Structure 1
């Protein structure tokens, strides 16, 4: 395993950021190359734990000369966000300087312009230097996995329709509870990678990308950081890499994904119509019917008319739930994956900022 650091100068005197990068050299130049990062949202750590255990397995495989394709690992992709603590609470999702989500505003470029990403980096602020160098590394690979998590959540993935159903082996290997088929219309990391591949010839969009994969994996909830979970997830990712013949192993075959795979338009974003205290009646993993009571909001506690009920707009699987119990008006309470499109029109791109 080769270990290096990318040093990112800070935007104020005396500050610099160090980004550790682990590289495992493959023995087959024709094998797919892999890039995996975790904690781009710096407080989302299930992926960091997964990669800790995966690296142990990869070191053993490297010693046994069983790694076919080059594998690059970035266990903590956002040292800038990891240093943002506000009144004792880590703020890892948004850059406090620019107020931009760390997983948005990645450059939308053609693959042929990859090397331009790291030209003249001195003219960019630290957060953009970080994004450009992460993207530059990822575009040197064929398979790109961005490891995230939700709040309270099942395990699910965002996969561009350009890769489906070819990517069902990944969903099966990691025992995903659901797949959300994205439209590739945002500046999030995995969609910016896909954009570069789709527009390898500028102005000519490819709708299928055989041999390529760029996905976001949501590894349950933000507090689901446990050794047994991380080891099981690492073993799942190992199965995927061996089934794709990136790691040499006998008798590992692609699995079959049995969960729902639905377009983003089929996700019901359950939002609070008012501020108040949330009393949840349903939890993640439950299948609800149209009209089922999901939550009660105590808008004026103690008064006879001081609460309101929120019901399911259609049947579906409860994928996520907010951990906050005092919510603002229009806060997202749940995501429900459904078989039919939501009646609420969705703009192209991500479900949330």
Structure 2
């Protein structure tokens, strides 16, 4: 195993950021290469715990000569966000200097343009340099997993339909309860990788066998427990074995039996007015159109001071907000539905 660091100089004097990187050299040049990262949103830590335990297995596999393909692991990808604390709470999703999401505004380039990502880095902000270094590293691999989590959530993933259904093996090994098929039209990290894979130097490819770029949502932000992280690490390990990246004679594949739904089928349940949230339904529960999901106490104490929020479609509650007060328009839930929920959804991500 080789350890190194990306060093990102700060935008003010005396500051620099260090990103630890772990690399394993495979012994089979024909085996797929893999890039794994976690905590690009710095306050989403289930993936960091997963990779900590996965690295234990990879070090042993390295000593046993069981690593076939090159593996790069970045267990804590965003030291800038990790250091941002406002009134005692980490602000790991948005860069406070530029007010941009750490998982947006990645360059959309063809794979043959990979080296241009490192051009003129000194002229760019620290957050932009970090994004370009991470993307450059990822584009050197065949299989790319970006580990995130939601607020309160089932285990699910965003996967470009160019990689589906080949990526069903990952969904099965990680016991995912849903897959959201993205349209590849945003500037998020995973979709920037997918864009490069689909535009390798010529026309856009409709499918890219042997390649993968995926955002894995490892349940909710508070789901950081040793047994859970070890099970997830075992799932990623099994995925690597199944893809021929590591060798393990005990491997048995787990099929995926859950739904794979386009983003048009996701109902974003939002608060029509501000208020205290009283949830009536939990993640993982099926709902029917018209079912009561939450009550908002909009005017506490008033006889008519509540507002009911109901499901617009049949489906499965995939995520729920951990907040118990909503501003007007805040997301309360995502429901994975059996049909399209709206006709006017713009391509791209579901949330900022």
Return the TM-score normalized by structure 2: 0.99
Q: How does 1:126-141 map to 2 (within 5 A)?
A: 126-141=126-141
| Structure 1: distance between partners of 2:218 and 2:27 | 30
State the distance in 2 between where 1:44 and 1:255 align: 26
Q: Deviations over 1:1-43 (max 9, x none)?
A: 1100111110000000001000011000110000000000000
Q: Deviations over 1:152-179 (max 9, x none)?
A: 1111000000011110000000000100
* Per-residue deviation, residues 221-276 of structure 1 (Å, max 9, x unmatched): 00000000000000011111111111111152432111111000000000000000
Name the SS for the 2:94 alignment partner: coil
Structure 2: any 5+ residue segments left out of the alignment? Answer: none
1:329 aligns to what? 328
Shift of 1:313: 0.5
- Mapping of residues 229-268 of structure 1, within 5 Å: 229-268=228-267
Runs of 4+ in 1 over 4 A off after TM superposition: none
Residue deviations 1:275-312 (CA, integer Å, cap 9, x gap) = 00000000001011111100000100111111110111
- Give per-residue Cα distances to partners, 1:70-116, cap 9 Å, x unaligned: 00000000000000000111000000010000000000011111011
Equivalent positions of 1:129-278 (< 5 A) are 129-202=129-202, 204-278=203-277
Query: RMSD of the alignment, in Å?
Result: 0.8
Query: How far apart, in 2, do the equivalents of 1:344 and 1:81 lie?
Result: 36
Query: d(CA) in 2 for partners of 1:265 and 1:40?
Result: 25
SS in structure 1 at match of 2:106? coil
* SS across alignment from 2:53: helix
What is the distance in 2 between the residues matched to 1:34 and 1:293? 44
SS at match of 2:97: coil
For 2:279, the equivalent position in structure 1 comes to 280
Matched residue of 1:131: which SS? helix
TM-score, L = length of structure 1: 0.99
Aligned-partner SS, 1:52: helix
Instruction: Tell me the distance in 1 between the aligned counterparts of 2:295 and 2:259.
Output: 28
